Amino acid sequence: MGRSVAIVERLESKSKVIAVSVSADGSSSAFAERERVVITGGPVIECIGVTAIRYIADNQLLVAHRSGLTCYSDAEEIWQHTDDTGAEKLAVGRGFVVYSDGLGRTHVLNERGDAIFDADIQNTLHIAIGSSLAIADEAGNVRAFSWDGELIWQRPQRGTVGEVITALGWNGDAIIVAREGHGLVPGEEEAIEVECWRNGKLIERNEPKARVVALDGVWQGLDMGGVQHYGEVVAEIQHPIRNMIDGGERVLATAWFHVYLINKDGISWSVEHQGMTEHCAASADWSVVMIGGEDQNDWTESEPVIIINANAEPSDITETAGAMPDWGEAPAIEIDAGDLYGKDEAFEALVAIDDQSKSQSTADMSLLMGMLDDDEEETKVNAEEAYDLMAELKTAIDEKIPPKADSGSDRVIKSDEDGKALVTLDGSSSYDPQERIESWQWIDSTGKEISDKPKVKVKISIGVHRFDLRVRDRDGSWTSDSLSITVESI
């Protein structure tokens, strides 16, 4: 029998919840939808294109959105940092704010919104704040920066292709790197490994039971197989771990529709949520834990955000009233043989079938079989369509597939007599297997957005010009693609 803690509060959402946050002292909490931020027990902040939220010092709420960052105190704007490409990933700590923009570049501000430095990183994948700032990019590079912007360490790449950093975190003053090599790196190392680096030196390298997709302290969350503590599996969970919050000898972990409290002895308790537990935040003492997410079913209403107290005393999960008992415990049913094997006449009387009704039933059955014969081909098609629909629904539940940006091929063209060339940038070949593309962005070599449409015409001069196309879906996942256009004189 499992154990659980009570849900303290349910907060109704109007649309997909994309982020939750709780202040360190637990006195403030909020959740974000794409067009608004809801403060628990307080006002609603209207904001277009929200991507993330975080509480910082003095319970001020930082909101990342498509125009940059805005900081609020009691829903009143304190400061704003504008970024033409928007703010995407967001991390806070040690009096600093770190975010990646729409082009994947990383920026560091103080908590007053003043720019400190821009990290030499493109296509940011993971941000981890510890004694210094650690950043991993999509090419497999990991770098650490001091808080004044100095590059203090760079992890040597193991191979030139195929390596992916699957998670990044800190354990005290050590940087923990989870990587996957896909078997394309040289040497005899394992394809999946976790590395521990301290002061620029590799301290330890071990092979986890499966791909590590979440890290915090000594805890590691696997994409299949559960949660590890110092490399040993302590909890078997057959779904990918989405979030982890380190508590020393215990950890909060979310997976599928549950949030778990796990210690070295296994799962202490779990709480079921109506939606998939995509987002989780907690106060410093875990007295306030907020969980949000949706069930990935477009036909149902938005799921509520729940708040629990992770320090509450758990209780046994009991069966709900009216639940069907286990078959092994079902009572035996005594029946007389005469009732079971009675005369035919008694049986016909019981079901009230006479000759007339039999004839009518036979006619109805013949008509039904004829209809089935006529619609046989249509039925097959509908079955195939149903199969395809179920496959799509399963894909939507099991995995969020990012869109694929396609900016087209590099080109070399001739200029007009005035030394200019009119060029069409065409990203309409970009696609998403789940058909969730929400926005396009064309960016020139200076980082300026020149269009938010799939196709745009630009006039460019003689020389080499680079353009980046960024495509984002409704879940906030995005990919980019670039092309180079060379304009030569006639």
The angle formed by the CA atoms of residues 407, 135 and 128, to the nearest 5 degrees, is 125
Predicted confidence at residue 327, as pLDDT, reads 34
**Domains defined for the chain, CATH in brackets:** 3-316 (2.130.10.10), 411-488 (2.60.40.10)
Which run of H or of E encompasses 30?
strand 29-33
Q: What is the DSSP string of 376-388?
A: HHHHHHHHHHHHH
Answer for the pair 3, 314: CB distance below 8 angstroms, yes or no: yes
Spatial contact of 310 and 252, defined as CB atoms under 8 Å apart: yes
pLDDT of residue 29: 98
Q: Which helix (H) or strand (E) holds 359?
A: helix 355-374
Token pair recorded at residue 158: 């193991």
Q: How far apart are CA 140 and CA 82, in angstroms?
A: 29
Nearest Cα to Cα of residue 92 among 25, 163, 147, 26? 147
Buried b (16+ CB within 10 A) or exposed e, 389-424: eeeeeeebeeebebbebbbbeeeeeebeeeeebebe
Alpha-carbon distance of 354 to 365, in angstroms, equals 16
pLDDT of 165: 93
Burial of 233 (0-12, 13-18, 19+ CB in 10 A): middle
Q: Which residues partner with 305 through β-bridges?
A: 11
CA torsion sign for 155, 159, 161, 164 is: negative
Res 310: pLDDT: 97
pLDDT number for residue 66: 94
Position 362 scores a pLDDT of: 52
CA pair distance 329, 225, nearest whole angstrom: 32
**What are the b/e assignments for 446-472, b being 16+ CB within 10 Å?**
eeebebeebebebebeeeebebbbbbb
Positions in the chain whose pLDDT score sits under 50? 184-186, 319-335, 337-355, 357-359, 377-381, 396
pLDDT digits (tens, 9 = 90+) for 332-372: 444 454 444 444 444 444 444 444 544 455 555 555 555 55
Report the alpha-carbon distance of residue 345 to residue 177 in Å, rounded.
78
Using CA atoms, how far residue 406 sits from 124, 151, 427, 440, 458, in Å, is: 20, 33, 6, 11, 18
Residue type, 400: K
User: What pTM did the predictor assign?
Assistant: 0.68
> Which pLDDT score is estimated for 417?
79
